Chains A and B, each alone.
Chain A
Amino acid sequence: MSTGNMNLTLKVWRQKNNKTTGALVDYKLADISPDMSFLEMFDVLNEQLINKGEEPVVFDHDCREGICGMCSMFINGRPHGPKDLVTTCQLHMRSFKDGDTIVVEPWRAAAFPVVKDLTVDRSAFDRVIAAGGFISVNTGNAQDANNLPIPKMQADAAFEAAACIGCGACVATCKNASAMLFVSAKISQLALLPQGQPERYRRVQSMVAQMDAEGFGNCTNTGACEAECPKGISLENIARMNRDFASAKFVSEETV
């Protein structure tokens, strides 16, 4: 069993609720193990706070295995911290050094208001999906799955786009708080598959409209989203979405 010997200074954003303003608060932590995950380090901090009679830091997390997309910490200026292709819950303390000062803030975007401390409201993403991120097929309407062969390359490409976990790191890192990477990932997944064709152009229009209505910013092609995405979602998806969005205007009224 590993015992830890790292000493750290944390600067953590504390904010009681969305009606108050927040501030960074300093905490000292000792004896942290390099094998701990970043969130386990926060567990240690919270246990200490509770034992001292203070309120623990509230942060979103659930699966702690990098797949639910719920964890969301902005660590030293980067969403999900210093490692590429990793969520906050899969970041381990061995990525830091003894004596480090670590600044931890919530996602910052107008469309993601802070709820408390490090927790933000990402329901805008759900509403974008509700606007068109689906194939309209009711239960019971499906044909035999193998009646529709799909070339492996195409299926694999759709799968890669579908790997998005809806965490919002792309929005958090973008100076415009644009949600293009997230939205284009869903649009691409469905646009790449034959099942997605009937609604292809209607989908891109309604999802983009909802994205704008939620207050996400515009894309100015800085590519920060792709660099910070824990699931490696590619900028090609944005290009595909833009093409589809442009074509949608030319597709006849009946198809859209």
Chain B
Amino acid sequence: MSDLNSNIPEGELTNKWTKFKSSVALVNPSNKRSIEVIIVGSGLAGASAAATLAEMGYKVKCFCFQDSPRRAHSIAAQGGINAAKNYQNDGDSTYRLFYDTIKGGDYRAREANVHRLAEVSANIIDQCVAQGVPLAREYGGLLDNRSFGGTQVQRTFYAAGQTGQQLLLGAYSALERQIGMGKVEMYTRHEMLEVVKIDGKARGIIARNLITGELERHFGHAVVLGTGGYGNVFYLSTNAMGSNVTAAWKAHKQGAYFANPCYTQIHPTCIPVSGDHQSKLTLMSESLRNDGRIWVPKKKDDNRKASEIPEDERDYYLERRYPAFGNLVPRDVASRAAKERCDAGYGVGASKLAVYLDFKANTERYGKIEASKAGIHNPDKETCMRLGTAVIKEKYGNLFDMYAQITGENPYETPMRIYPAVHYTMGGLWVDYNLMTSVPGLYCTGEANFSDHGANRLGASALMQGLADGYFVLPYTIGAYLSKEISVKAIPTDHPAFVEAEAKAKGILDTLINIKGTKSVDHFHKRLGHIMWEKCGMARNAEGLNEAITEIRALRAEFWKDVRVPGTSDELNTELEKAGRVADFIELGELMCIDALNRNESCGGHFREEYQTEEGEALRDDVDYAYVAAWEFKEGVNFELHKEELKFENIKVAQRSYK
């Protein structure tokens, strides 16, 4: 059934990566100096790859659209990074991390990739600590861990609520070191607008200098995209305002298959929408679920304040439905359960689209522990709350401050209101075991590829994957390709392929500027987001998806007739940048709906209402859908399906249960 070759090495699962590394062809140092690699994106997956490839001796060019590589959105990841270190001696192992990730992904990820991820996870922590990343420590001076949704071991390393920031700044410092040594040429405020292909291979990119508007041609023996996810297709998401699919989508249109686009992660703990002006949603780290209990009133339409609702009139619905994992069920399960309660009329807050995340019980518990440490026997409630609040503050202070700043409410006193929001996209460009897309010489790393999380990503696994790809996987696997390229001289950028690609990019920019329509780019983006959230969001059905496809096509036609982009293309023009990105989001949105419609099952971040158990849990169809759906772009915005069959040889596929 597979017509895609994933190039998974032969042999035992546990030996595949070791064997691959020791047998992959090498490029000798003098050849590396004349081999050029282009990296698009400077987040965890891009910066780590750029730094590592430069350390190895390749000539690297790295591009980002922000004003500095340090701004990439990996920086906003809060909770932590998983690694199978077993420092807590709680039974963790490479196999267990592998198993948890496959299970958490609802059996829709590739075994060999996930096992490799688990294997290198421990190296990441070592590397980051060596770089001076200040991860949280215990009093004994050793690294601290916390637990995260979907697992029963403590394997998550963290730096307060700023883990992404600290890891990214580590990768950024490694990258800047190489820039300082002249081994990486950094292009900030540049956006990739086209992949250049010569004789079927990726040989460079067209990038727009966002300050001058100039289109530039850049040659590379290989091109790597580490450009992040496409959650902003929903307009509102936890992504940064600039996060976009454009680089991946241009690659897709040049022949790179797009895999599992419908797998979208809706994060259960975000600050609810406050009004029509809302421009983005803010995540409250999942780590809060370690110490917060989620509840809604037992009574419908209960308008009392949280503090006025007595204990026995509260429904701790996650603890009720999933006694084994309770508040720590995986994200997709927690999100759907919140939606279910709100849809049924039990939501809280002005919009009624929120549930409570309550820290009171654990604050008191921590307070008791602190009191007894301080030799206070039988402390009163007030003392407990005061001491406990200090503990909570130490663990989550910055998150609580952020919540207070955004909502104007004090979360130390009243429970937080939370609601699910789009957070991460498991789908992305299809890649083989080497992280190469279906275009030879074009690679994809981090969130931008589809590879490791199946249909649902576990908390604290995104940072792990981004850094695994960039530090430890790609630098090896790309050698398999580049070792055959050593005789290729740098191709001059007046080659017709570059000329043509540049003309194409220019054509799109000119068209956008010249439409001179009546509605802003944001107007179209919001409408797209609305369609996607209503019909391709947390729950989907065939009827809604069919409607969505029709509506998106109509929206696309209207966009190209009526969008208004002020200014010109030869200057800093943020509206023009947004217009190009939204044009790509509209096409992607259609593909997401097509993919969701094709997948007649529910799994992880894809929940089809027609396919659920009597208790409302996702119902997979392993006979017909245990495959990766990889879509090929065809002229006129059409898509052709290719399938990569998923074989589970080391794990018994089972119905996920967190009860």
Using a CB–CB distance below 8 Å, which chain A residues touch chain B? 1-4, 16-17, 33-37, 39-41, 43-44, 47, 49-51, 53-56, 58, 60-70, 85-86, 90, 92, 94, 115-116, 119, 121-123, 125-126, 129-146, 148-152, 155-156, 158-159, 162-163, 165-166, 189-190, 193, 195-196
Contacts and interface: CB of A to CB of B under 8 A. Distances in A.
A17 B134 contact: no
A137 B70 CA distance: 19
13 contacts: A1-B273, A49-B566, A55-B567, A62-B242, A66-B402, A121-B67, A126-B186, A129-B176, A132-B180, A134-B131, A145-B128, A158-B134, A162-B166
Given A62-B71, A90-B406, A122-B67, A196 B132 contact: yes
A3 B87 CA distance: 51
A240 to B, nearest CB: 15
Contacts of B278: 40
B290 interface: no
A43 B578 CA distance: 13
B179 interface: yes
B334 interface: no
Interface stretch (B119-127, B256-264, B365-373): B119-127
B134 A159 contact: yes
A67 B67 contact: no
Nearest to A72: B67
B173 A129 contact: yes
Nearest to A44: B277
Looking at chain B, what size class is its interface with the partner chain?
35 or more
A195 B275 contact: no
Contacts of B26: none
A170 to B, nearest CB: 16
A189 B137 CA distance: 15
Contacts of B71: 62-63, 68-70
A244 to B, nearest CB: 15
Interface in B604-643: none
A43 B277 contact: yes
Nearest to B178: A130
* A39, A54, A140 — most chain B CB neighbours (10 Å): A140
Given A1-B350, A144-B126, A159-B159, A65 B76 contact: yes
Contacts of B67: 60, 70, 121-123
Given A62-B240, A92-B406, A190-B132, A67 B68 contact: no
Closest 7 CB pairs of A and B: A149-B141, A130-B180, A134-B173, A142-B130, A142-B126, A159-B134, A145-B129
B572 A122 contact: no
A53 B520 CA distance: 10
A150 B141 contact: yes
Nearest to A143: B126
B55 A135 contact: no
A138 B173 CA distance: 11
A94 B160 CA distance: 28
B578 to A, nearest CB: 10
Interface in B72-130: 72-73, 75-76, 85, 87, 123, 125-130
Nearest to A167: B71
Given A36-B275, A66-B402, A162-B169, A56 B125 contact: no
B451 interface: no
A138 B564 CA distance: 48
Contacts of A116: 571-572
B177 A63 contact: no
A125 B186 CA distance: 14
A3 B129 contact: no
Given A159-B136, A162-B159, A162-B169, 12 more contacts: A1-B276, A37-B406, A40-B279, A64-B279, A68-B75, A90-B402, A129-B176, A139-B52, A140-B123, A146-B87, A149-B141, A162-B133
Contact of B172 (A37, A64, A129): A129
A119 B66 CA distance: 12
Given A70-B67, A129-B176, A131-B180, A58 B574 contact: yes
Contacts of B242: 62
Interface of B: 48, 51-52, 55, 66-73, 75-76, 85, 87, 123, 125-143, 159-160, 162, 164-166, 169, 172-174, 176-177, 179-180, 186, 188, 211, 240-242, 273-280, 282-283, 350-351, 401-402, 405-406, 408, 471-472, 475, 520, 522, 564, 566-567, 571-572, 574-575
Nearest to A48: B520
B405 A63 contact: no
A68 B240 contact: yes
Contacts of B140: 149
A146 B241 contact: no
B277 A65 contact: no
B73 A63 contact: yes
A1 B352 CA distance: 10
Contacts of B402: 65-66, 90
Contacts of A94: 408
A250 B654 CA distance: 66
Contact of B76 (A67, A121, A139, A144): A67
A17 B55 contact: no
Residue of B133, B173, B472 with highest tally of chain A CB at under 10 A: B173
A134 B166 contact: no
A51 B139 contact: no
B188 A123 contact: yes
Nearest to B141: A149
Contacts of A123: 67-68, 188
B125 A145 contact: yes
Nearest to B72: A68
A208 to B, nearest CB: 15
Q: Name the residue among B73, B128, B140, B274 with the largest chain A CB count within 10 angstroms.
A: B274
B365 to A, nearest CB: 22
Nearest to B129: A145
A150 B137 contact: yes
A204 to B, nearest CB: 15
